[in-house]
Structure 1
Amino acid sequence: MWGVGLWGPAQHHPDPRPAGQGGGAAPAAGHERGHADAGGEGRGGEDYEGATVIEPLKGYYDVPIVTLDFCSLYPSIMMAHNLCYSTLLPPGGVQRFGLGPTDYIRTPSGELFVTSKVRRGLLPKVLEGLLEARSRVKQALAQEQDAGRCQVLQGRQGALKVSANSVYGFTGAQAGRLPCLEVSQSVTAFGRQMIERTKQLVESRYCLAQGFPADAKVIYGDTDSVMCRLGVPTVPEAMAMGHEVAAWVSEHFPAPIRLQFEKVYCPYLLISKKRYAGLCFPSGPAAAPALDCKGLEAVRRDNCPLAANLVTACLRRILLHRDPAGAVLHAQEVISDLLCDRLDLSQLVITKELTRAARDYAAPQPHVSLAQRMRQRDPGSAPALGDRVPYVIVTGAKGAAAYTRSEDPLYALEHNLPIDSRYYVEQQLGKPLLRIFEPILGEGRAESILLRGAHTRSKTLLTAQVGGGVLAFATRRSTCVGCRAVLQRQGAVCDFCRQREAELYQKEVGALAALEQRFSRLWSQCQRCQSALHQDVLCTSRDCPIFYMRRKVQKDLDAQQALVARFGAPSW
């Protein structure tokens, strides 16, 4: 496209990069623009300023928060302002071609493009066709009843959406086939200007001075959307006002740029840039509210399951039940259970992929160090490159690095190695919990309430010593089941507890039955997972919590059977 069109091949530079440079396009000297370099970067095509993010007003909002979204923002900007390779004016083009003030526009980044009345750009024509095709597909999707056809149409409209958005993308790809940073940086500059303009319009129009019940406030904005507190108490009122605000703001931008109402959050937890969560009420008439989270670590595989489960549970209490105090209490209870070794080992397993050899890592990593130790123990079962390595952090010498204390969960279970629960509180739960609760409790107060409270000092000396491990098992075999007195002979009870032997026996048999029932349920679940209801379970998935639950229950079941066997033949 370069050199073809209104200006002729001699007038338009086909590739403004210096000879031998493979980066993005660099504008020629003397190009008509009047702005400072973005972000301190040079204008040599190395980088350009992207979308803007309005500084978030962090906090917990128990009032409706309206989300307004620009429809196909970047494609609509390119169509509205006729941004294209073929409409970009070269240096001195205004005087050279005798263009009048209404024949060209200057973008916020200082680039010059002719208007559509002089020449309609090729990229706007392409985008218009893509968006019209997507609109037709979405209309057909709304009328389609067949589930299979709906999936096809949904995929088609998604492909058209990606194609339209990629038109802007490949103009900014410095190593691409058709780079043109003048177009891409103009698009993002218009986007930044529009977000700021939307904020100014909303806050100046919808305020007490204009007769509205409250002053509207834009609490966050990112790329193509803004989130507004409009001062209305209910979700239906917020939806109605959101449609009104979107229509009024759209009038201030050229077609086809259009701001639309998207959804309402109530309540809403704004954590930081690109991190928020809320109970979402979509604009559709039959759409049900749902929990919506962005930027949180609830699904990261390199965090232990406990972190994801606790974050999800706290968010549900905060957003669904509107009970931040209950969420704090739940987090404190889970931390207390963790420090007292009352949680299942499967909740503490961390997995990370072994991507390269140990020598290629800049610093020692827990999963890499464990893979080396497992290779020394049994080379045949050691993890290979590309495998995900599960591990837990066990207790060790004071100040020892985490990579020296990583251990195979099965090995730790079989050898009764105590888990370093303090590591999990500080390294696995601390940051995710603080991100959620700092906007509610305050930065310093959240840490003292969650991670430094009385609930963190409830770990007894016995628990710290045995960690649910070998000493606890040995105590069962050498002491009385009833009073824990040391036995001088074989058996289950001492002479003092002999009269309660039947009661104690029934209690231990009940515990044995409960373990058998739990093991049976876990076994059945593994059978269903393998689709082998009449075969033995051969599952060895080290990345599955059920696998570790089953092995732990099997170990407890063996220990409980041995304890019941100590009673011998009943004599009562």
Structure 2
Amino acid sequence: MSEAELRKYEAELRKCETQLLKEWAEFLQELDPDIITGYNIVNFDLPYLLNRAKALKVDLFPYLGRVRDSRTTMRDSTFDSRAYGKRVNKIISIEGRIQFDLFQILLRDTKLRSYTLNSVSYHFLGEQKEDVHHSIITDLQNGNEQTRRRLAVYCVKDAVLPIRLLDKLMCLINYMEMARVTGVPLAYVLSRGQQIKVVSQLLRKAREKDLLMPVHKSEAQEEYAGATVIEPSRGYYNIPIATLDFSSLYPSIMQAHNLCYTTLLFKSTDRERLTPDQYIRTPSGSHFVKSSVRKGLLPEILEDLLSARKKAKAELKEEKDSFRRKVLDGRQLALKLSANSVYGFTGANVGKLPCIEISQSVTSFGRQMIDQSKNLVERKYCVANGYPFDAKVIYGDTDSVMVRFGVGTVAESMELGREAAEMISATFPHPIKLEFEKVYFPYLLINKKRFDTPILPYF
């Protein structure tokens, strides 16, 4: 932070801590913010202020919210989520104001070596805090003008850096768009797991259809087979390797095969009332009615999410305003994450509405599609069909396959990759689509989920 930037800020002194706390609370009420942000404010700053106000008997301090006579309270809470793990946090109730703690957001959304404000600021902004250890703060305050100035700069940077990080990482925009897309309060997006977002969308869609959702008591479900991983042909490849990737694989499977709670056929008697062309049998042995009989809620939700994402991405390409671009990018990301979480919701081992038949069916279709893609590629692109080499799928994982076509140039591999993706896509029902993603050249395949290339891949 430059000297000119620092001069924008004023430091005001108060006679005592009691007066400081009282006037800070008054300032907050006068400013009346919707969102209070900072770095580790939930577990440190706000609890510290509340405890100091209590110790000094500043009785009017803990009324920081918008509701008159509603006291700001604090308690411990344990948050346990499959996606984010187990954490113990403070819960501070400030009625009408959202606490947007950037420290907790980064813990949840990023993988860094260190989460101190100093390390995070340097990683994302190339800036650092003022180097002041907490043990010398009192000495700086009781010193001279220069030591107090150093302390003031330390405080300014502690306040400004989180704001700059918010702007750089678009955290607030992304979370607000997630709340808007899923129909849950922003506080829920910050403090609760993934399942509440899917429940909210299900409730919204069920209401449109005049349907009721059951209250389900969570119980552990049986385990089911996961995605296919084609054993890697380990080694160093000094020829181009093409990667073909299924776009939104699990959401598109649920759409293509109409997999939903509302389309599942439990008993053979359910099928007796239908003709064989009105339902399907999934590779895992479950039965679902086709969309021509009844369209499921989950496929409709996914269709809405993915079409909205397509629209947001199209608008993003045309948009010139930088802030609007950030909003649209946040929206398309929220829509993508929401679509991907629907499958996980049905397969949660202990969830709000688990359905093993849906999750099993999705992964079984996925395994079948990966195997089918491998067979189609190797059957068509071979010497017997006039190609110079026999193509080989050297690795496949969940939603992608890596193909050695045997050609010597990146351009040839890209052309064959696009052709193969189009050919394979035509064998699957809409909206399942296999896309050419990139070419690696050269390519080092070490093990499952471990591969590398010394240069950037070709797109």
Return the TM-score normalized by structure 1: 0.42
Highest relative contact order (Cα 8 Å, sep 6+), 1 or 2?
Answer: 2
For the 8 Å contact 2:222–2:356, the answer to whether it is kept is: no
How far 1:106 sits from its partner (Å)?
0.5
How far 1:107 sits from its partner (Å)?
0.4
Q: 2:286 aligns with which of 102, 106, 111?
A: 111
What residue number does 1:159 align with? 334
CA–CA distance in structure 2, aligned partners of residues 181 and 282 of structure 1? 39
The yes-or-no answer on 1:270 pairing with 2:445 is yes
CA–CA distance in structure 2, aligned partners of residues 150 and 216 of structure 1? 42
Amino acid at match of 2:284: S
What residue number does 2:231 align with? 55
What's the CA shift string for 1:98-131, capped at 9, x where partnerless?
A: 1111011000000000011111111101100100
The yes-or-no answer on 1:206 pairing with 2:381 is yes
- Report the 3-state secondary structure (helix = DSSP H, G, I; strand = E; otherwise coil) of the residue aligned with 2:262: helix
What's the CA shift string for 1:424-455, capped at 9, x where partnerless?
A: xxxxxxxxxxxxxxxxxxxxxxxxxxxxxxxx
What residue number does 1:102 align with? 277
What residue number does 1:169 align with? 344
CA–CA distance in structure 2, aligned partners of residues 178 and 262 of structure 1? 35
CA–CA distance in structure 1, aligned partners of residues 367 and 355 of structure 2? 19
What residue number does 2:416 align with? 241
How far 1:23 sits from its partner (Å)?
2.3
Percent identity of equivalent pairs? 59
For the 8 Å contact 1:80–1:256, the answer to whether it is kept is: yes
CA–CA distance in structure 1, aligned partners of residues 328 and 229 of structure 2? 33
What residue number does 2:190 align with? none
CA–CA distance in structure 1, aligned partners of residues 213 and 266 of structure 2? 8
CA–CA distance in structure 1, aligned partners of residues 406 and 330 of structure 2? 38
For the 8 Å contact 1:170–1:176, the answer to whether it is kept is: yes
What residue number does 1:75 align with? 251
User: Structure 2: any 5+ residue segments left out of the alignment?
Assistant: 1-201
The 5 Å alignment of 1:327-346 reads none
The yes-or-no answer on 1:46 pairing with 2:246 is no
Amino acid at match of 2:260: C
Q: Larger Cα Rg: Structure 1 or Structure 2?
A: 1
Q: 1:66 aligns with which of 229, 237, 242?
A: 242
For the 8 Å contact 2:234–2:447, the answer to whether it is kept is: yes
Amino acid at match of 1:59: G
The yes-or-no answer on 1:23 pairing with 2:192 is no
CA–CA distance in structure 2, aligned partners of residues 147 and 239 of structure 1? 34
For the 8 Å contact 1:64–1:265, the answer to whether it is kept is: yes
CA–CA distance in structure 2, aligned partners of residues 129 and 282 of structure 1? 32
Amino acid at match of 1:268: Y
What residue number does 1:136 align with? 311
CA–CA distance in structure 2, aligned partners of residues 236 and 187 of structure 1? 35
- Report the 3-state secondary structure (helix = DSSP H, G, I; strand = E; otherwise coil) of the residue aligned with 2:457: strand
- Report the 3-state secondary structure (helix = DSSP H, G, I; strand = E; otherwise coil) of the residue aligned with 2:442: strand
Return the TM-score normalized by structure 2: 0.52
For the 8 Å contact 1:68–1:225, the answer to whether it is kept is: yes
Amino acid at match of 2:380: R
Residue 175 to residue 60, structure 1, CA distance change in 2 (3 Å): same
User: Structure 1: any 5+ residue segments left out of the alignment?
Assistant: 25-44, 284-572
For the 8 Å contact 2:410–2:458, the answer to whether it is kept is: no
How far 1:232 sits from its partner (Å)?
1.4
Q: 1:221 aligns with which of 396, 399, 406?
A: 396
Aligned length: 253
CA–CA distance in structure 2, aligned partners of residues 140 and 47 of structure 1? 42
How far 1:183 sits from its partner (Å)?
0.5
What's the CA shift string for 1:205-239, capped at 9, x where partnerless?
A: 11111111211100000010000001111111111
For the 8 Å contact 1:264–1:280, the answer to whether it is kept is: no
